[in-house]
A and B are shown apart, each in its own frame.
Chain A
Amino acid sequence: MAVTVLIAVSWILIVLSILVLGAYAVRHYYFGYSRMRLKHPRETNELVGFVMPRVTVFIPMHNEEKVARDILRALVDCDYDWELLEVIPVNDRSSDGTRAIVDEFAGRYPFIKPYHRTEGVGGKPAALEEATELATGDIYLMFDADYVPGRAVLKMLTAPFVDPEIGAVIGRVVPHNIGDSLLSGLLSLERCAGYQSVQQARFNLGFTAQFGGTVGGVRAAALRAVGGWNPESLTEDTDLTFALLLSGWRTAYVNRAECYEEVPRDWAVRRRQLSRWVTGLTECLHNYWHDLVRARFLRREEKTDALFLLAMYLTAPIIVIGWVASLVLFFIPEAHAVPVLPVAMLIIGYLLFSNQATFLEIGVATLLDGTRLRALLMPLSLLNCFANTGAICNALRKFYWNRFWGSGGDGWYKTRRTRLGREGQAFSASAEATAVGAAQQSVKGIYYASNDGMGD
């Protein structure tokens, strides 16, 4: 009797996990093929340079001496009108040389207005919340300190705001340290699929793109309308995406607004980054799912996509449950009885089709980008999947444990930057230059330097 129940429960768990993961796979294929059709209903690229609102650029910084100079130099070299530009490096209690670097730039360029924070709640959302009170722009753009914005990126990010429905905009993150380690190479594939395939597909299909505070912007009025940044959230950008969506604002994605990022090169850093994302996104799921389901002005597809996005990390424990149930069935001879063809077809079909779905997105993104050699890393992405699954399950366990017992949970963790001896080199060619093209050359410099091993 007990064995029969165990077999039945295992089968139910397997079928349920197949259905859930299969639904995600369908979504991946839909996005992948949508990108391959190359249809773009919304296009604001023609407006780049014609839309020049007053802009405030925030750069949250915490011990960023290795990277601060690069991003400030890149922003100085941007082709945005300095009269309409305000850069606020938000120095959040740094204990290294960040303050000196920021002050040095502020002394030379009047539009750089540093905000040095010495006390208060830690973390990016809280720091942004305080710094926003000083901002005078109509549009707030923000970049992580390790990012290197391209020369025209400010114009590209502001162009979509010509549409009054657009409340926020996100640019594309391109890793520049691909050759640092196997992990950074694999993460570059992940980023490539996440932006080139998924974000662009969601935007093209009329779903809301996921706002990212790493390379993005928000309309000041929209931010005020939703009550500002949520300092409680570990992923304030995702929180803002859904706060805006539920208030009727859209988020635009600009694939051409590329910004060059340093992805984690070792697993310890990656695990903590992932843990923060899991906690933040799952928190958003709990905060917003009810309002999303009830929102009358959102289409059913939009709601479904938003819920899929917010529940994305819950797929990891579902995968593990499926594995455990399969293992149980393997050791029960009674379970080896002939399964009916449709069930067997479902299982094998799932294993073949669903597992390939995310790789299709990577493949499509690679095709669109033309990054040839990187495609060969794809089979190794399976390692990343295993590693991610474990880390996500662990983060979810902590999240629900803390939620159940009402404890505080993980605090803000800043992703460690290394830049591996390249600090300052990115802009060495244009150390004192504001000449047209200098920044672009420098950005190309680090991009190709990091790609040497990949041959791209």
Chain B
Amino acid sequence: MPLTRARVGIALGFAFVVFVLLAYFSVPLMAFHSSVADMLLRWAGIPNAGWDPVAIFPGLEPGSGPLVPIPTFAQVSEGARFALILGIVALLLVAGRFSLFRNLANFLIVLLVVSAVVNVFFDTFQLQSKVFGQIWLRQELLVWLLMPFVSLLLFLLPQPNLSEGLGWMALVQVYGFCFSVLRFVFCVGMLHYTGLLFMPLLWFALGTLSDLLILLFFYSISVYRTSGQLWGIRRSWQSQF
């Protein structure tokens, strides 16, 4: 794995070019994100009165947020409240049964309980879908912009074959975009049907943690593929320096 200066320079150059292209086309990219999300919202039967322009970052705007009705805690259906209780019970069961999952499950329970408490005692707390869309785009736009540099470290440099590294880079970028639309639509749908009850949990699980997981998933596969090609298969008495 020759990690030469030339190799680092070329990889850095690629990452920078992709970054500049993404920044230059950020507005059409966000518009495309919204149009795909709009199509999926309609397909899922979630009422959307349209898309309002929202500020993202100076120089990288505007984006747009959906106008989906979101109920307050008082308006939320009995089914949603029951789902919240069911979710807490399910997580308690997981925490009790699987010790490795315990801390994660406990943290998710805390998120649900805090959410329930805030909803009960601060009924006026409200999050509009447009604002949610704005927060989502701010986060995801930065993820898209920074992803080339993460790919540089995880995929481009460790890969013995530069073109394969570029392939991974492109795959992660495209998948990250598509997965972002899916998660966004799912979250908006949950907001529409359950208000803010599940929002902290969804924000934690489907926010940047999801981006992290995607990266990790692809990274593990790329390491799996590269490992055998590059160094041969390990023998127990043999340890390569």
> Which residue of B has the minimal Cβ distance to A183?
B100
Q: B72 on the interface (CB 8 Å rule)?
A: no
Do A356 and B150 touch across chains, with their CB atoms under 8 A apart?
yes
Q: A183-B100, A386-B103 are in contact. Are A345 and B142 (CB under 8 A)?
A: yes
Q: A338-B55, A356-B150, A373-B224 are in contact. Are A367 and B1 (CB under 8 A)?
A: yes
Do B111 and A327 touch across chains, with their CB atoms under 8 A apart?
yes
Q: B107 on the interface (CB 8 Å rule)?
A: yes
List residues of chain B with CB within 8 A of the CB of A382: 212-213, 216
Do B3 and A383 touch across chains, with their CB atoms under 8 A apart?
no
Q: A448 on the interface (CB 8 Å rule)?
A: yes
List residues of chain A with CB within 8 A of the CB of B213: 379, 382
Q: Which of A11-19, A32-40, A61-69, A306-314 contacts B (4 or more CB under 8 A)?
A: A32-40
Do A367 and B158 touch across chains, with their CB atoms under 8 A apart?
yes
* Majority DSSP secondary structure for residues of A touching B: helix
> Which residue of B has the minimal Cβ distance to A451?
B236
Q: A367-B227, A371-B227, A376-B220 are in contact. Are A443 and B3 (CB under 8 A)?
A: no
Cβ distance B96 to chain A, nearest Cβ, rounded Å: 13
A116 CA to B165 CA, complexed, in Å:
58
Q: A349 on the interface (CB 8 Å rule)?
A: yes
Do A353 and B239 touch across chains, with their CB atoms under 8 A apart?
no
Q: A267 on the interface (CB 8 Å rule)?
A: yes
Q: Which of A68-84 contact B (CB under 8 A)?
A: none
Cβ distance A416 to chain B, nearest Cβ, rounded Å: 15
A26 CA to B149 CA, complexed, in Å:
14
List residues of chain A with CB within 8 A of the CB of B139: 344, 348
Q: B88 on the interface (CB 8 Å rule)?
A: no
> Which residue of A has the minimal Cβ distance to B215?
A356
Q: B183 on the interface (CB 8 Å rule)?
A: no
Do A348 and B154 touch across chains, with their CB atoms under 8 A apart?
no
List residues of chain B with CB within 8 A of the CB of A98: none
Do B104 and A386 touch across chains, with their CB atoms under 8 A apart?
yes
Q: B131 on the interface (CB 8 Å rule)?
A: yes
Cβ distance A328 to chain B, nearest Cβ, rounded Å: 10
> Which residue of B has the minimal Cβ distance to A150?
B237
List residues of chain B with CB within 8 A of the CB of A196: 239
Q: B102 on the interface (CB 8 Å rule)?
A: yes
Cβ distance A349 to chain B, nearest Cβ, rounded Å: 6
Q: A372 on the interface (CB 8 Å rule)?
A: yes
List residues of chain A with CB within 8 A of the CB of B101: 383, 387
Q: A172 on the interface (CB 8 Å rule)?
A: yes
Cβ distance A272 to chain B, nearest Cβ, rounded Å: 12
List residues of chain A with CB within 8 A of the CB of B106: 390
A390 CA to B109 CA, complexed, in Å:
14
Interface string of B130-160 (1 = CB under 8 A from A): 0100010011001100110110011001100
List residues of chain B with CB within 8 A of the CB of A386: 103-104, 107
List residues of chain B with CB within 8 A of the CB of A379: 213, 216-217, 220
List residues of chain B with CB within 8 A of the CB of A260: 236
A367 CA to B231 CA, complexed, in Å:
7
List residues of chain B with CB within 8 A of the CB of A331: 114, 118, 125, 200
Interface string of A355-384 (1 = CB under 8 A from B): 110011001101111111101111101111
Interface string of B189-203 (1 = CB under 8 A from A): 000000000001001
> Which residue of B has the minimal Cβ distance to A258?
B239
* Number of chain B interface residues as a range: 35 or more
List residues of chain B with CB within 8 A of the CB of A266: 99
Interface string of A142-165 (1 = CB under 8 A from B): 000000001000000000000000
A274 CA to B234 CA, complexed, in Å:
28
Do A444 and B146 touch across chains, with their CB atoms under 8 A apart?
no
Do B208 and A330 touch across chains, with their CB atoms under 8 A apart?
no
Cβ distance B36 to chain A, nearest Cβ, rounded Å: 22
Do A367 and B3 touch across chains, with their CB atoms under 8 A apart?
no
A443 CA to B233 CA, complexed, in Å:
17
Q: B240 on the interface (CB 8 Å rule)?
A: yes
Interface string of A439-451 (1 = CB under 8 A from B): 0100110011000
Do B221 and A376 touch across chains, with their CB atoms under 8 A apart?
yes
Find A352's partner among B104, B157, B208 (CB 8 Å cutoff): B208
A448 CA to B154 CA, complexed, in Å:
29
A16 CA to B186 CA, complexed, in Å:
33
Q: B83 on the interface (CB 8 Å rule)?
A: no
Do B227 and A366 touch across chains, with their CB atoms under 8 A apart?
yes
Do A348 and B146 touch across chains, with their CB atoms under 8 A apart?
yes
Q: A367-B227, A369-B239 are in contact. Are A356 and B212 (CB under 8 A)?
A: yes
Q: B32 on the interface (CB 8 Å rule)?
A: no
A339 CA to B138 CA, complexed, in Å:
10
Do A360 and B228 touch across chains, with their CB atoms under 8 A apart?
no
Q: A435 on the interface (CB 8 Å rule)?
A: no
Q: A341 on the interface (CB 8 Å rule)?
A: yes
Cβ distance A161 to chain B, nearest Cβ, rounded Å: 20
> Which residue of A has the minimal Cβ distance to B138?
A344
Cβ distance B1 to chain A, nearest Cβ, rounded Å: 6
Q: A348-B142, A383-B101, A386-B103 are in contact. Are A356 and B241 (CB under 8 A)?
A: no
Do A327 and B114 touch across chains, with their CB atoms under 8 A apart?
yes
Q: B57 on the interface (CB 8 Å rule)?
A: yes
> Which residue of A has the minimal Cβ distance to B224?
A375
Find B237's partner among A323, A366, A389, A444 (CB 8 Å cutoff): A444
Q: A331-B114, A336-B131, A356-B153 are in contact. Are A344 and B241 (CB under 8 A)?
A: no
Find A372's partner among B100, B200, B227 (CB 8 Å cutoff): B227
Cβ distance A147 to chain B, nearest Cβ, rounded Å: 14
**Interchain Cβ contacts under 8 Å between A and B, 12 examples:** A33-B3, A256-B239, A258-B239, A341-B58, A352-B147, A356-B219, A370-B240, A375-B223, A382-B212, A389-B103, A444-B235, A444-B237
Residues of chain B whose beta carbon lies under 8 Å from any beta carbon of chain A: 1, 3, 55, 57-58, 60, 99-104, 106-107, 111, 114, 118, 125-127, 131, 135, 138-139, 142-143, 146-147, 149-150, 153-154, 157-158, 200, 203, 208, 211-213, 215-217, 219-221, 223-224, 226-228, 230-237, 239-241
Q: A352-B211, A375-B227 are in contact. List 12 more A-B contacts (CB 8 A).
A: A327-B111, A331-B118, A331-B200, A341-B57, A348-B139, A352-B150, A352-B212, A353-B146, A359-B154, A360-B154, A363-B223, A377-B220
9 nearest A-B residue pairs (beta carbon): A390-B103, A267-B99, A447-B236, A378-B220, A348-B142, A370-B234, A375-B223, A386-B104, A351-B208
